[in-house]
Structure 1
Amino acid sequence: MEHRNMCLIYWCGLLLILITDSTSAARDTIFPNQTLKNGDTIVSANEIFELGFFSFKNSSFLYLGIWYKKVSPRTYVWVANREVPLLDASSILKLNDKGDLQLLSVSNTQVWTSQSTKLVTNSSPVAQLLDSGNLVIRDDISSNLIWQSFDHPGDTWLPGMKIGVDRLTGRNWNLTSWKTDDNPSVGSNTVLMNTNGYPQLYNMRHESSFQQRIGYWNGLGFSGALGIGLKNLYTFDFVLNEKEIYSRFSLINSTSLTRMILNPEGNFLLFVWSDTGHIWQLYLAPLMDACDQYGFCGPYGICSINNAPPCSCFEGFEPKLPEEWSVADWSNGCKSKMYLTPEKGHNFTKFSNLKLPDSQNSWFNRSMSLEECENVCASNVSCTAFANTNIRGVKSGCLTWSGELTDIREAPQGDVSGQDIYIKMANLKVIRELKPGTKKKSHLKVILPIVSTVVMLSFALTLYSWRKKNSYNKALVNKDQKQDPDLRYFSLNEVVKATSNFSINNKLGQGGFGAVYKGVLEEGGEIAVKRLSKTSKQGIVEFQNEVICIAKLQHRNLVKLLGCCVQGEEMMLIYEYMPNKSLDFFLFDENNSMLLDWPQRYHIINGIARGLVYLHQDSRLRIIHRDLKASNILLDSNMNPKISDFGLARMFKEYETEANTNHVVGTLGYISPEYAANGLFSLKSDVFSFGVLVLEIVSGKKNRGFSHQDHHDNLLGHAWRLYKEGKPHELVDVALGDSWTASEVLQSIHVGLSCVQQNADYRPSMSSVVHMLGGEGALPPPKQPGFLTEMTKPEVDSTLIMSKSPVSINKVTITQLDAR
């Protein structure tokens, strides 16, 4: 009998344990006076989210938070006591009879409470964690909502969560960044709904100065903000009524784990969890480049990240302070060319595909037609522009501005949220009548110098073909010196002495242009001498091109041209000497690659990017390099990268963005698809070459000649495969060992793939790249790269010169080999 009783007790105890464990595993609710201790958790019904206590590595602070149950490493979406961490692991969470959640220390001191403002109708409140990630407190009988965590957002915007204003209670639903990645206290960045004028979202810093304006909802997206519109992943709602103003997004596929986050650096990003790669993949970054800086081009200025410089004025307007625009300060914007008065008349000029101006000083009516809106603006002296509020389907609504129009940009490529605006302007016919002949004169100012330059260059080339006399050569160089006093003329005797009569021991390398020698000047200082070979068929043009281009450029990431030597048949360029040779010397050598750790490689990537921004945007000339490659990146004594060899560079005028040629130049593996196939080159051609360089720097492999046992793709195709499979880290050079930082490497791979996209329009500008590498922005997910496979066999010489026949992908290209 005793034995049977013992067995009964045993089995009952075991059953009780099983029931308890099962109940605990599925528990999503906290009942009144029930406590949650450190180590206990509650889990939402479908095990998507989990709530409990946590602490960061190497920290004794304890927090109560919500995280994704099945995501590793743990990703937190909400923290209760973010400003007051717990110091005692014995602290507990409790739900009292009034419907308040309380965090209590070991001494029963209240550290945090939900502080519900709604009265409980009975004594049966319950707290429940939902599959949306929302922690709610309800009346257990009536199911009335008492409190919810979604009303108190942190740094994460989850599907179903509101960002906006409750007009009845005055509550603001704002996102606030963490202070650091392991400190959830409130940081310096906030995403909020500004309700002055027509409501719009802002990303603000330090609570006072605007950082970025996401824009207002126009039915398809937030005006001009990349990607926040109708997608196959999610949809947005915008609600504006007498009770509340808010925006929220919902998932089309409810099983997808998706979150928007405002990180400590102020970047506003949307991530989607990849089950295959087990990583958070960046889906979009609505704010991504310099044009997203608030008021970057000032009043009536339009920012276009695809132009250099990025700022321009609306038609009928001109820079307010031209001297500031000449030094790339556009903050004061533009002014009308003619004062607008009712007596002189006005018209409305339509401008399309824009992120519309800041709507703080605006008036709106969401039921008016566009025609009614025009009448309202025309009859209001202070009205400066009008537009629709809703561009989805049949356009509707009226939005008018008063005062200056600020923070305008071209909508990003491929985005649907750009829209039309109608700006009130003085009659342009009056302007032209007041300034007769202006256009003709401006054309003459442009044409005459160009014609003069062409004539002079033609004359110089003709004289050279007749074996121009030494006296003429000196006069030509002296003339250049007067224009650029920093360009020194070296005598042949000086160069001969410096290089020990071009000793073979001083020879650094040989290329299509000729040989390169190291030299030491009598007054001290090392130089590199690029000597034009007498048999070179391309050196004369390249010599002139390089003198014209690089002599006018000064940047820490461009090699410095010290001078030249022209005497008899000798033509030489004199550069600063780079003791660490070129990037390819380290990158593609099995032994030398181990000398180049990740911090150095990341430094080189950033330096090259800054040099290209200078060439494309910030220099006095807009220059496309056209031959960016590892051998043309020189390294100084501190391993700082210097872009070199401007023999193939092309100068663009301010209004030019692309050009076409039937004489394609460049190097196999680095040349862009549109240039190889159609002879079309632009700033985005250099961007493509930069992207190839980045992937080569990360992997330590050449794009051209790359091979893999599982496929026949080149390096670009291989990187694309790994990215799609969620394994981009496998691209990392094994020579790096453990020196690489995951975030920097993944960011670099993302940048590289974004730069080598097949469609040039999708490639970012170099200024966007610099911002992303600096942690100040982000790029959207890349699309398929161009040239996924080798175009020619690796053994074919990559220094062929293409003839002036129609361009073919089968005949890609072509510059001299450069050794340093």
Structure 2
Amino acid sequence: MEAFAILLLCSFLFANLTISTAVDTLNATQILKDGDTIVSATGRFELGFFTPSNSTKNKYLGIWYKQIPLKTAVWVANRESPINDSSAVFKLTKQGILIIQIHNGTIIWRSKASRPAGNPSATLFDTGNFVVRDENESDPENFLWQSFDYPCDKLLQGMKLGRDLVTGLDRPLLSWRTPDDPSPGNFTYRFDFGGFPELILREGSVIRFRPGPWNGVRFSGTPELKPNKFFTVSVVINDKEVYDTFVLHNSSVLSMMVLSHDGLWERLTWIDRTQSWQVFVTVQMDPCDSYGLCGAYGSCNASNSVKCSCLKGFVPKFQKVWDTQNWSHGCVRRTTLNCSSDGFFKYSNAKLPDSRQSWFNYSMNLDECKNLCTRNCSCTAYSNLDIRDGGSGCMLWFVDLVDIQQFSVNGQDLYVRMAASELDFSYDFGETESPKSKDKERIRVAFISMLSAAVLILGLTLILYICRKRRHEKPGLATPTSAPESSFSVKNQNEEFELPSFDLATIVLATDNFSIKNKLGQGSFGSVYKGILKDGREIAVKRLLRSSEEGLDGFKNEVVHIAKLQHRNLVKLLGCCIHADEKILIYEFMPNKSLDFFIFDETQSKPLDWPTRYNIINGIARGLLYLHQDSRQRIIHRDLKAGNVLLDYEMNPKISDFGLARSFGEKETEANTKKVVGTYGYMAPEYAIDGLYSIKSDVFSYGVLVLEIVTGKRNRGFCHPDHHLNLLGHAWRLFCEGKSMELMASTMRETCNPSEMLRSIHVGLLCVQQSPEDRPNMASVVMMLGSRGPLPNPKQPGFFTERDVVESTSSSLCTQKLVSSNDFTITMSEAR
């Protein structure tokens, strides 16, 4: 009888591991089954498994409004993995990871862990946010995970539509495929970057709508967005984050923004009287909201019968096509600009042009903005950045002006560059700056005309001096000159040689004035652009940040170390450009981007079968061997990582980015530094801790890279449900258990060569051993990869110690973020 009572008690306790509808929190000892739900504290939101409609049997885990009869899902977890039976369970692991598991044990969805948890729990807040946090943690900055960071098609009060610039976390909206199918549809809405950040609505890759840049009060293309008693919209743009959000003035109102399945950006409000959602406003109001309807330098006015017209001083590019009301080709200037005598025409109540390739500055006033645009012949227009308090800030355009719209009220002033002669004509849309300024402009033009001959003679006399003189330029502006291609003298210890030098005009032309569409990526020292020279050669252009002293050091360092290197597995430096405070390096173009673009993304990694990966592993080894042994001087890279291995047309690897490299004399083997530079996850222990670096430091980084190539997982950020080891520790544990093949990425199962795979893992583990003396040199690595003989057993890898799940320092966390922790090169100064 006593045994029966104990059994009954255990059964009762086990039954209480499930969740009832009265609970708002899920902990690691509970599970949520089909039919169970979690309800927020005041009963506004509910979480559980649901079916979108009667027309489908698919089930999803989601959050919906509980207080209304029409089940409206505001967030869905397993959008791409529907459940077709009632066997699924939802639970929280002890590591703080949420998972959905079906009957056969397969995990069909899991959350991303920002760091290990101590005693995690998941709570559904009354905001509709489902949060995983450590026990008693209330600071949102310390949440382990939250559904608000992974929105679907709806934006609730307090949610952020935008990007965290520190972590790289992006929060776009993705429409449902249909009203009954929550899988990702064709439309996305997110911030685009490059110039001034703008929200862009796309259908697939095609831009359909943009509300215009935020001007402090509203988006410049949404004049109907006025301060009102119902809600307040705000946009935050700073160096840490960019996002759009809203706050409801009446918390009892149910209202949300929705990206509909057919691409409309709408505000919906629940009406109790009709028991339905009512469209409060649809942001796309008329045909003029279609992106680029009138083409370049065209303006759209919804109140006109013919929607499109050319801006003042412009005519249709193809008149006959324009007359058929096909305006997509846009307009061209009627009169060529003269630069020195150009003026500006003011358009009032306009939607500002696409600003994603603009330059902006918050501290300048409108006069300073005009002067800056006047001095740069490539500047096509300018405007205030913020319209509050009479206007402030500056935005400049250097490209064709696209997607302009004319409003009757609540538009913005736009100043477009014009030939002086065009300013004499009247025009309905816009106005010259003032009669007085017009008279001044005529006087200025006459004066300039009289002096033009003298200026030309003087200019020809002084052109050589001017081209060589360093001139100050504002950030973001490229002023082309016409200096011929020459050479730049580089001194490398006792050797001096010439490196081809490109003039700035050539680089500006090749990159379309550093257009955002040509931008390949960005690092800590600057941005990289694709360019095409006049002879058709494709190049990669690294433009260093002007404000970065480290960038300048990296520039000099890279020129010194890579200029004379010639190896098929090293990126070739073609030349450089030094003009005023512009520091630019020109490389051969690598069309297949960097290795990390492929190996860490399951979709992108499909082209990388095992033969290709094995070729990359061997190619990187040969490139390092050349640096360490066969180059004119022994070079240590110090920042070898997946992001610094580029791939050519045939997916052959080429080591790049020598900004942190150091050279050794023939008899030197190691050095010490007070400034530790490199990338977490790849740095050898003796270097990260004591500042000691040698060729064995690169060997350690190479070993990490080999294991990442094999597994498709990052070392830093690796998480496993059974332990808290990094990738190196996990690989060594499986090696000791004879289970190394379990490391293989799933995408390579059909192409894998087991002997090559096992040998690569074995060599990788030899390279990441704790002691530098135990690690092989690159000559041995190349030999071991190419042979079939026995290999020594590896010892314990560096940084093997299991991480403390309670510890919160970034160097020891088990981190999984949308943007890799490995991508950031760090610098640490240590006292000695």
TM-score by length of 2: 0.48
Larger radius of gyration: 1
TM-score by length of 1: 0.48
